[in-house]
Structure 1
Amino acid sequence: MAGSSSNGPISTASSGANHSISFSGRARRARSTIAGVSGSVAGLAIRQTTVDITTTIGREWTKAKDGFCLIGGSTASGKSALALALAEATGGVVVNADSVQLYRSLPILTAQPSASDLARAEHRLYGILDDLAPNSVAAWLERAVATIQEVQPRLAIVTGGTGFYLEALLRGAPTTPPTPPELRARSQARLAELGPAAFAAELQALDPQLAARGLPADPQRRLRAWEVLTLTGRSILAWQASPSLPPNLPPFRGGIALVPPRDHIWPRIRQRTEAMLDAGVLAELAAWRARPTSAASPLAKADGVVELGRYLDGTTSLDAATEALIVKVRRYAKRQRTWLRNRLPELAQVTTPGELVRWER
């Protein structure tokens, strides 16, 4: 459960030897000398910077009694803090636009809202899916549109780091047909039968159009491409190129993209990782990995599952695993910033962390 922790070591088998694993983040930091900006210094630097949103967006948000707004941004940019503050100020509802936060498991690792956050404002579309539940941009869009319409006349504050979700909300999503459960079972059985490499080779042979562009690295997206081709006889690329209609939504009240500079984001990512360790993420992940469904879950690709899993398996130190996770998340944050700048020009770029953003009331 979120917030659970265990400070005692556990013993697991690793290559025939016992490997002592501590679930304590505090113990790790007491002996860690990882290079980088310290949390206290970074926090001080961040607190000295504020920004006022006195543009039309700020006025629209605080005066709005209906409609929806968007808060995008890179990882650790303060999206959730800003969305929560805005929901409290307006009586609005926070709507999730992050793909991994849709899943019920691993709430600490995926940084889902805390119990205190949930008590301060209503949140929707967090922790609604089981481990093996499939998901797609179109499926999220259908849920999000229904939620935004349902909460009217309150302001729906849509926030998250999955850029494809935000883009679909503004412009629509391709009408790719959903995968029937029996076909999903067939695709997973085929993958298990062939193995990842042979499955990829088969997909390339069956779908030359996709092969020419390059297969997606994500195993779930490869499964989806195989399923669409099997179901319809058309490449998933052909479906994605089909015109899509914007969803039927109440008024759009504007949006922002939180893109603080690297010298703010990098220490915040480290601080967030440290906080997850203190909150019990290792115990949470160990319990989840013990489930028979974990390996096939879309959550298996969430940041931290592989990196911290190596520590739990006894193949690396906790310092090394933590540093590997921080580096991975920093790279992802960089890609998010680039994506938001190039793909969502509708969102005003704000270079201040979300909890320090102020708006005209």
Structure 2
Amino acid sequence: MANSPSHTAGRLPLALIAGPTASGKSALAVQHAKISPKGMVINADASQVYADLQILSARPSPEEMQDVPHRLFGTIDGSQAYNAARWADDVKRLLARAWEDEETPVLVGGTGLYLRTLLYGIAPVPPIDPDIRDTVRDMDTDAAYHDLQHLDPASAARLHPSDRTRILRALEVVRSTGRTLPQWQEQREGGIADMVQLSPIILLPPRDWLRERCDLRLEQMFATGGIEEVAALMDRQLSPDLPVMRAIGVPQVIAYLRGELSRDQALTQAQAATRQYAKRQYTWFRHQPPTDWIRHELPLSNNNIDDLAIKLHNYGLTR
């Protein structure tokens, strides 16, 4: 590895496997790591970081990890509000150690915000005035969205009117700083894109195949401990505003455990939420990353996973 073209060029090798949920990213990452010198896998999924969500986040099991080192999987307690900036800092430290030890790191996940923050940096938004933050967070979602349409129409246009978390964030930024979030994002800093030799692949299998996989996986999650996982979370009496409590599947199971939904209704709603999330991811990964990133549009299977891992490995050696 020390003599690879990436090192010769002064840029450090980094493989990246991204795509929507249930597209087969984890299996490909393990296979890529197994054929790479001292391969190791780093998580880039916002839900799989939480120790409390092994089943509902589809975090790889020890058997699925196949003795390949995995980092940032299940390392954060659900009581913490982990975010993209903190994740990027943690990954930078992991990458520095990996390269020093001549390991071959591969990032894998479907959280586009995490990947964008790591590669291209984060907007240097100053701390939000506490009074403004409290005022904004007490607002009704409709009122906040209406206010955002006047103060930051660009952000309002790209957000769904019910996306409360992002609406409030955009509104508190423009109220507190006098500048819109898109304006701050034009000054991103701290990204590593210029220092790495990136080997990226995006999995974009047929939508029908993906939807079927999402539905089947939710059925398996409900049948193999996902409900009990949420019950344990409820016992902790964590704030409902924490990311772990908003993860797909958690609100639906909570409603079931409280008697507000039947088990079948909770499953159906969780499946629908997963399909919607996968659709948003699919759209983001099709259009947002650079056009020279590899797009693989066939279903991942035992018949092509080896070839795809080799293709990604060779791509990194020739860039």
What's the TM-score bracket when you normalise by the shorter of the two chains?
0.7 to 0.9
Does the alignment pair 1:259 with 2:204?
yes
| 1:82–1:354 contact (8 Å) kept in structure 2 | no
Normalization by structure 2: what TM-score? 0.78
Tell me, yes or no, if structure 1 residue 316 matches structure 2 residue 261.
yes
Partner of 1:114: 61
Displacement of 1:272 in angstroms is: 1.2
Cα shift at 1:76 = 0.7
1:125 matched residue in structure 2: 72
Instruction: Give the counterpart of 1:145 among 65, 88, 92.
Output: 92
Is 1:235 the equivalent of 2:180? yes
Distance apart, 1:159 and its partner CA:
0.6
Worse-superposed segment, 229-238 or 285-294: 229-238
The one of 300, 308, 329 aligned to 2:274: 329
**Would you say the 8 A contact 1:310–1:316 is kept in 2?**
yes
Report what 1:21 is aligned to. Answer: none
The residue aligned with 2:166 is 221
C-alpha deviation, 1:142, in angstroms: 2.6
Task: Give the TM-score of the pair, scaled to structure 1.
Answer: 0.70
Do the aligned partners of residues 92 and 186 (structure 1) sit closer, same or farther apart at CA in structure 2, a change above 3 Å counting? farther
Counterpart of 1:176 in structure 2 is 124
Picking from 109, 131, 134, the partner of 1:160 is 109
Greater RCO, CA 8 A, separation 6+ = 1
Matched, 1:349 2:298: no
For residue 317 of structure 2, what is the aligned residue in structure 1? none
Q: Secondary structure at the match of 2:259?
A: coil
Percent identity of paired positions between Structure 1 and Structure 2:
32
Checking the alignment, whether the CA contact within 8 Å between 1:74 and 1:258 is kept in structure 2 is: yes
Cα 1:255–1:107 shift into 2, 3 Å: same
| Greater C-alpha radius of gyration | 1
Q: Deviations over 1:254-302 (max 9, x none)?
A: 1111112134222222221122123211011122123332412112331
1:248 positional shift: 6.0
Q: Distance in 2 between matches of 1:288 and 1:332?
A: 22
| Rounded Cα–Cα distance in structure 1 between residues aligned with 2:35 and 2:126 | 38
Counterpart of 1:85 in structure 2 is 31
Q: How many residues align?
A: 294
SS in 2 for 1:296: coil
What SS does the corresponding residue of 1:234 show, helix, strand or coil?
coil
> Structure 1, unaligned stretches of length 5 or more?
1-58
How far, CA to CA, are the matches of 1:88 and 1:179 in structure 2? 43
Task: Tell me, yes or no, if the aligned pair for 1:174 and 1:244 is still in contact at 8 Å.
Answer: yes
CA distance in 2, matches of 1:219, 1:284: 26
The Cα RMSD (Å) is 3.2
Cα contact 1:73–1:259 (8 A) shared by 2: yes
Relative distance call for 1:333 and 1:248 in structure 2 (3 A) is: closer
2: CA distance, partners of 1:236 / 1:192: 17
